[in-house]
Amino acid sequence: MSKQLDYHAIRAIFERFRDAEPEPKGELEHVNAYTLVVAVALSAQATDAGVNKATRGLFAVADTPQKMLDLGIEGLTDHIKTIGLYRQKAKNVMKLSRILVDDYGGEVPNSRAALQSLPGVGRKTANVVLNMWWGMPAQAVDTHIFRVGNRTGICPGKDVIAVERAIEDHIPADFQNHAHHWLILHGRYTCKARKPLCKTCLIRDLCPYEDKNL
Ligand code: SF4
């Protein structure tokens, strides 16, 4: 774990991320808050590309909780059986759709606690929805952000909650909204788990990681 970078280094890093990609976007396809919740819930231990492939057909027929209930668990399972853990995920999607219809008038609630009370929705999923749909500076820490945060010292921490707190505490306010996507994209395409692309990394001179791949 690298030690926490100082304010000036973090500001310089995010200025470079912003210059390279001013409006970073998540890669999970969705058409409304509900389909975003479903897509994120389906994405645990699966790739965004794999989820998108399955949800294109699914969301064409079921883009609301009521339509999902009408489709039924077998119809849902047919669409998502290429995704890992699909049986458990299908059960959760049906249960959360039922709760949304019965308790929230078919709408998706937008507090972290209410989102986390839904089956299959953890803190990370709730933060993705709050950030991507509601524009709240909520920081969903996935495996990429955890790795990048600790290697670079942008937001080091021994567990995901510590990394989430470090992002909130150390990343300047003007970068908070997009921090999640910049860090994910950096981890996914440059600061990869094995063989990070340090030679072409745009923050190489600011990164203190001792085992750079040069
Ligand atoms: S220099 Fe290497 S280790 Fe540091 S952020 Fe870039 S890719 Fe990651």
Burial group, residue 194, by CB count within 10 angstroms (0-12, 13-18, 19+)? exposed
Q: Are 108 and 33 in contact (CB under 8 A)?
A: yes
Report the atom number in ligand 1 closest to the C-alpha of 202: 6
Q: Which two tokens stand for residue 134?
A: 């509601």
Give the pLDDT of the chain (214 residues) as one tens digit per residue. Answer: 889 999 999 999 999 999 999 999 888 999 999 999 999 999 988 999 999 999 999 999 999 999 999 999 999 999 999 999 999 999 999 999 999 999 999 999 999 999 999 999 999 999 999 999 999 999 999 999 999 999 999 999 999 999 999 999 999 999 999 999 999 999 999 999 999 999 999 999 999 999 999 9
Q: Name the DSSP letter for residue 21.
A: -
Ligand 1 in reach of 207 Cβ (< 6 A): yes
Parts of the chain belonging to CATH 1.10.340.30: 33-134
7-24+138-200 in CATH: which number?
1.10.1670.10
> What CATH class does 33-134 carry?
mainly alpha
Q: Are 183 and 137 in contact (CB under 8 A)?
A: no
Phi, psi of 129 (to 5 degrees): -65, -45
How far is 166 from 92, CA to CA, in rounded Å?
A: 31
Parts of the chain belonging to CATH 1.10.1670.10: 7-24+138-200
CB count in 10 Å sphere of residue 100: 23
Candidates 89, 102, 142, 159; catalytic one: 142
Is 142 catalytic? The answer is yes
How far is 203 from 85, CA to CA, in rounded Å?
A: 36
